[in-house]
Amino acid sequence: MSDHDDISHYAGLDARMLKAARSLRILTLMSWPASFQQPFLESWHAGNPQLPQVEYPKHDFSDARRELDAVAEEADVTHPLGLYLCESARSWSTAARMLEVLGTSEVAKYSIELYGQPDQPLPGNGPTTREAAQHFIGIASELDHELLSPEETVPISAIALQLQLQQVLDDFFDGRMITVELDPDLIAKAAAGATRIRLRSSAIFTDYDRDQLLQHEAFVHSLTALNGRLQPSLKSLELPSPRTTATQEGLATFAEQITGSTDIERMKRVSLRIEAVAMALDGADFIDVFRYFLETGGQRESESFASAQRVFRGVPTTGGAAFTKDTVYLRGLVGVHTFYRWSLRQDRLRLGRFLFAGKMTLEDVQRFEPLFDAGVLAPPRWLPRWAARANGLAGMLAFSLFANKIRLDQISDQLTLNDV
């Protein structure tokens, strides 16, 4: 079989996988209606909180699973495209099985298979994800909120934020590629897809929220989907396969950090969710987790409800099971940060730009490098400014590589002696 025949074969398999996977809208099918929040808060105020009882529709994705399994079988894993298709199809097939058992504790088993769990070690056999989360929670709790400057606490209405985001996005994409909409029924403050960002109409935002939405949602999640749509042969790169979640969320969180769009409170929120997932897996019910966000996390009641429902999406609210997607954020961040440092050391920083050509894993982009060179895969049409400015990125990473050689325990000892 010629190289051209190979590409045509894999493009055909990819089209079949994309068609089968399109109906597997994981977060859409697992999310709760906004109407669940008010009754729960009323029962909480009455001193008799009631566990939310969420009924999920029954789904049968057997046809999609058969097609996905067939694609995996027909893909030659010795070829980079074949390996990508096999791993992606099997990931989607697992997701289909998870969606077929919504409302049961069995969801947790599939969720862990797809996204991992809190006690999973970070890349490099470091501490566990939960230990890292507890580290950030501890640091955030020690810092006084008075450290925030007045500018950082100026409230922004959803309507004002909608106008601000829309103008920035239209300027960046040189046209209306992404629409910013207000949604009164959204539980979360914001949600993003390939061509739409929704803001909860009643929510109040800050400058940090605005910058995080731009860098995390628009310039990573939406941008990689739009670039993926432009791929000539591998159209599935527009779709957020479960196996790409850790890299996608890690890249998005890394983007927040490198652009100065994140803060310690953001790291605390991400970490609280990881700890909450661990609590739920250990037996905590929805009320326990809600109380944790409210009291330990210091979140408002509406925010605590939204945070708790993330943990219990698709699973019983009685405890012992959780939707573990939120555990990928810190693990993904460490993985992506390490990848960029490695790519600088290996003089392969362009891999970091190829990572925006669609939704892929860190392993995928390394395997795909010859395919980018051969023109089989297209480079990204759009890049966030920090990724396009290679000199600035290289400068930050070079400093990071050097700074990591400095031992803080020795610095601490020297400072103590100087104080004496």
Name the DSSP letter for residue 318: T
CB atoms under 10 Å from CB of 29, counted, come to 17
Query: Is the backbone of residue 102 left (phi > 0), alpha (psi -120 to 50) or beta?
Result: beta
- Per-residue confidence in pLDDT tens, the chain, 420 aa: 446 668 999 999 999 999 999 999 999 999 998 889 999 999 999 999 999 999 999 999 999 999 999 999 999 999 999 999 999 999 999 999 999 999 999 999 999 999 999 999 988 777 999 999 999 898 887 775 545 555 556 889 999 999 999 999 999 999 999 999 999 988 778 888 889 999 999 888 988 889 999 999 999 999 999 999 999 999 999 999 999 999 999 999 999 999 988 888 888 999 999 999 999 999 999 999 999 999 988 899 999 999 999 999 999 999 999 999 999 999 999 999 999 989 888 889 899 999 999 999 999 999 999 999 999 999 999 999 999 876 677 777 777 667 666 554 555 555 444 554
Q: How far apart are CA 165 and CA 226, in angstroms?
A: 17
In the beta sheet, which residues pair with residue 198? Answer: 181, 191
pTM for the complete prediction? 0.90
Q: How far apart are CA 329 and CA 305, in angstroms?
A: 20
For residue 110, give the nearest of 96, 89, 124, 131 by alpha carbon. 96
Q: How far apart are CA 357 and CA 325, in angstroms?
A: 23
pLDDT computed for residue 3 by the predictor:
64
Q: How far apart are CA 83 and CA 96, in angstroms?
A: 20
Write down the residue that tokens 């925030």 correspond to. 148
CB atoms under 10 Å from CB of 249, counted, come to 26
- 116, 43 in Cβ contact below 8 A? no
Alpha-carbon distances of 156 from 151, 172, 247, rounded to whole Å: 11, 22, 30
Token pair for 352: 């970091």
Strand pairing category for 204-205 and 156-157: antiparallel
Report helix, strand or coil for 325. Answer: helix
Please give the full DSSP string across 371-400, using - where no structure is assigned.
HHHTTSSPPPS---HHHH-HHHHHHHHHHH
Token pair for 208: 């940090």
Contacts of 396 (CB under 8 A, 6+ apart): 258
- Own/partner contacts of 136-144, CB < 8 Å, gap of 24 or more, are 136/264, 136/267, 136/268, 136/270, 136/271, 136/330, 137/268, 137/271, 137/272, 137/275, 139/264, 140/264, 140/265, 140/267, 140/268, 140/271, 141/268, 143/264
Q: How far apart are CA 5 and CA 120, in angstroms?
A: 41
Name the DSSP letter for residue 36: G
pLDDT computed for residue 269 by the predictor:
92
Q: How far apart are CA 169 and CA 177, in angstroms?
A: 8
For residue 21, give the nearest of 111, 89, 109, 119 by alpha carbon. 89
